[in-house]
A and B are shown apart, each in its own frame.
Chain A
Amino acid sequence: MEPSEFGRFSDPALFILASLAGGEKHGYAMMEDIELSTGVHLGPGTLYGALSRLEQVGYIEALPADDRRRPYRLTSQGVVFLHQSLVSLEKFVSLGLKRLEA
C-alpha cells in the first residue's frame, strides 16, 4: 500500500508509525509523543481512523490490553513501509533544499 492510499490519514499514519518505531504505545501515549515530536495534535477520531487502517493493512498490531488501554507495535511490514516512506521523504527534502540553495 502506498502512503497516498491512506487518503486524509496519510500524514497521521506516518506519524503513528514513526511514534511506534520508538517502542510500543497505546493511543494516548502516541498522541502525546506525536505532539511532542512534531507539534501536531492528532484528534482522537483522526488517530483511530489512521490506527484502524494501519492495523487492517498489517503495519501495526495490537498487543493484549492493559486494563482498558491497548498498546500497539510495529510489524515487520510496518518497519519496511516506514523505512521506504522516510527514504522517499528524505529524497524529497534533499531535492527541495538543493533547489532552494541553487
Chain B
Amino acid sequence: MIQKRTRVWLTRLYPRSWRDRYGAEFSELLEQCLRSPLDILDVFLGAVDAHLQLLSGENLTWRMMNMLNKIRTTILIVFTAFIGFVIAGFALVGMLDDSPMVPLMRSTPSLAVLMATIQVGAVIAFLSVVIGGLPLGWTLVRRALQKGHRGLGLLLVPVISFLVLVLYVGFVFLVGSGRIQLPGVVQVVQPGNFPVGNKLMLSGILGIFILGALASVLAVWKVISRTDVEQEAFHVGGRVQNIKIYTFAFVPAVITTMAMLVMLIATLLWGVISFSALPQVFTANYGPWQTSTSAWFIGIIALMSLCVLAAIFGLARNRLEKID
C-alpha cells in the first residue's frame, strides 16, 4: 500500500481549489488504486490537466473556488495583521506608562493630535474587524456546532486564551496589592531597581498575550480552512438575507488596513516630534520593565510596518472579481 506521505504529495500536485473539492476522496482513491508507475504518471498528467483547466478558466466552479480562496486568504491576512498591530499598540501604551512623554503630550498640541489620531484609528480598525468578522465568526460557530467537537474545540482556543490572560492579570493585581506574597517580587518598584521577579511576572502578561494571540490565530485559520462555506443566511429585521461572508468582510478589511497605515504614520511622526523635544527620554530606559525606550520604539515601528505591509500585500494579491 502506498505511503500516506506519497499520497499527500501526489494530491498536492493539483491546484488548491481542485484539492478543496476533490482532495479527500482523491487521496482515499490513491490509497486503494495505485498499482503501477503508470498510475503515478496518470496522476501527474491529471494534475497538469487540472492546472491547465484552471488557467484557461474552462471550469467555472474551480474558478469560483479559487477566487473564494483568494478573498478568504486576504481577509485572514488582514485580520491577523490587525492582531499583530494590537500587540504593537499595547507595547506603545506600555512604553508611555509613567514616562515623561505623557506630560509632554499634554503640553504639545501636535503630539496630542497625533495620539488622538492613533486612538481614533484604533477604534475604527477595531470596529471594522468586528463588523467584518461578525458574520464570519457566527458562521464558523454555527458550522462547528453542526459538525462536532473538533471545530468547537479549536474555536474555544481564543476564548480560553482570553480567560487565561484575564486570570493572570487578576493574579498580578493580587500580587501588586499585597494580597498574595511572592518571593523576589516587591509591591512598589523604585526607579533604577526593577527586581527580576517583577520583570518575570509582568513579562508573563505579554507572553500569555502573544502566545494566546498566536494560538487563537492558528486555531481560527485552521477552522476557516476546514469550513467550506461562502455564504450564510442571516435573519435581519425579520427577513432572511444571504450574506457572502468573505466578500462582506472585504470592505472592512480595506478600512482596517487604511486605519493601520494612518496609525503607523501618526506613531512615526509622534516619535520624531517626541524625540526632538525630549532626546534624553529615548536614550533612557522608559520601556516596559525599565528597558531601553529607543529599542522599544524601533520594535513597535517595525512590528506595525510589518503588519501594514502584510495587510497591503493581502489586499493586493486579491483581484476582486465578481463571483456572480
- Whole-angstrom distance between the Cβ of A45 and the nearest chain B Cβ: 2
Cβ-defined contact, A27 with B39, below 8 A = no
Q: Which residues of A contact B140 (CB under 8 A)?
A: none
- Whole-angstrom distance between the Cβ of B137 and the nearest chain A Cβ: 26
Cβ-defined contact, B26 with A48, below 8 A = yes
State A69–B29 Cα separation when bound (angstroms).
Answer: 8
Check: A102 CB closer than 8 A to any chain B CB: no
Range of interface residues on A (Cβ < 8 Å): 20 to 34
Q: A56-B60, A56-B61 are in contact. Are A44 and B30 (CB under 8 A)?
A: yes
Check: A97 CB closer than 8 A to any chain B CB: no
- Chain A 22-55 interface mask (CB, 8 Å, partner B; 1/0): 0000111001000000000001111111011101
Cβ-defined contact, A31 with B33, below 8 A = yes
Q: A28-B32, A56-B59, A56-B60 are in contact. Are A65 and B43 (CB under 8 A)?
A: no
- Which of A28, A47, A49, A65 is B50 in contact with, Cβ under 8 Å? A49
Q: Which residues of B contact A55 (CB under 8 A)?
A: 61
Give 26 A-B contacts (CB < 8 Å), ordered by A residue. Answer: A27-B28, A27-B29, A28-B32, A31-B29, A31-B33, A43-B39, A43-B41, A43-B42, A44-B33, A44-B39, A44-B43, A45-B42, A45-B43, A45-B47, A45-B49, A46-B45, A47-B29, A48-B22, A48-B46, A49-B46, A49-B50, A51-B22, A52-B59, A56-B60, A68-B24, A68-B27
A-B complex: 3 closest residue pairs judged by Cβ atoms: A45-B46, A43-B42, A68-B28
Interface residues of B (CB under 8 A from A): 18, 21-22, 24-30, 32-34, 38-39, 41-47, 49-50, 59-61
Interface residues of A (CB under 8 A from B): 26-28, 31, 43-49, 51-53, 55-56, 65, 67-70
